[in-house]
Structure 1
Amino acid sequence: MLLLLLLLLLVQLLLLLILLLLFLLLLLLLLVLLLVLLLVLLLVLLLLLLLLLLLLLLLLLLLLLLLLLLLLLLLLLLLLLLLLLLLLLLLLLLLLLLLLLLLLLLFLLLLLLLLLLLLLILLLLLLLLLLLLLLLLLLLLLLLLLLLLLLLLLLLLLLLLLLLLLLLEYPRPLTKHSAGW
């Protein structure tokens, strides 16, 4: 009986040991499963973090690209403004050149008009001089004519005087009274 009891005790002890071992094994399995789950979670978290980092990098790259595009657009606008300013300056220079040319043309026209006026005045002066010369010539001719007339009159007077003298000095013809009738 004692042996049986001992055997039963031994069997129970063995069973308890086996149960303990099984429980320990289950605990170990649970721990391993927990560790695996934790590792998987860590991996998933790491992947999510990597994805987030990649997304952030992509966003940063997009922002940089947008900034570059904006800078390029601003540069293009500045270039266009500079070109417009240059065109405006060129137009202003052309307008100034045209104004200068017009002023030069006006000045040349005024000079031509002044020259024409001077020529006209000179022509008028020449005409006046010619008229004066003609008047002087006419006066001289008149004086000459007057002198000639005076000379003719003097000659006529001299002729008349000579005739009178001749008539006075010429002997009278014989008449009846002078012949002693």
Structure 2
Amino acid sequence: MTEAPLRLAVIIGSTREGRVGDRIARWFAGQASGRTDLSVVLVDLAEFAFPPGYPARATPQMSAFAAEVGRADAFAVVTPEYNHSFPASLKQAIDFAYDEWHAKPVGYVSYGCRSAGQHAVDQLRTVFTALHAVSVRDGVGVDLLDGCADLDSRLAGDLPARAAQVLLDQLCWWGRALKAARAAHPFVS
């Protein structure tokens, strides 16, 4: 008997005009799409009309995002690094869900100049720990100033593909383990 594929939500964390996060997310989703153990869905924050402030009641868009998070078994957060952290659009979206993140693995695909987005990942690990999510150890980092003029050429290299497969392996392992644990013993926060 084969297990059903895990639902992996690849979340595009930047909403900036001219961003490269959507291209990096599509590349990462392509890396995952050849796997039979995963079902991949892209969740683009730019496609949600979130309110500028946090309202007393969730809007339909907030509820739709939380439902996407709830349906997922694992997450790959694609984030840029802005001023040594992650974008406000991503923090706002993360805060629109709570229980939906519990006891699920989160991996990071980051990008930025020189640090390849690692400062943003460091900040996100703290946030997701507070949400009772499990950050996996390895990730994918893309340095936008590595001397390669073309993003597609940079992503076509062997190192990014290997890093993506390591991350996907970890997300699958943790995703299966935590899904079984949630089924056997509902999570208590």
Structure number having the greater strand percentage: 2
Greater RCO (Cα-Cα under 8 Å, separation 6 or more): 2
Q: Give TM-score, length-normalised by structure 1.
A: 0.17
Larger radius of gyration: 1
Structure number having the greater helix percentage: 1
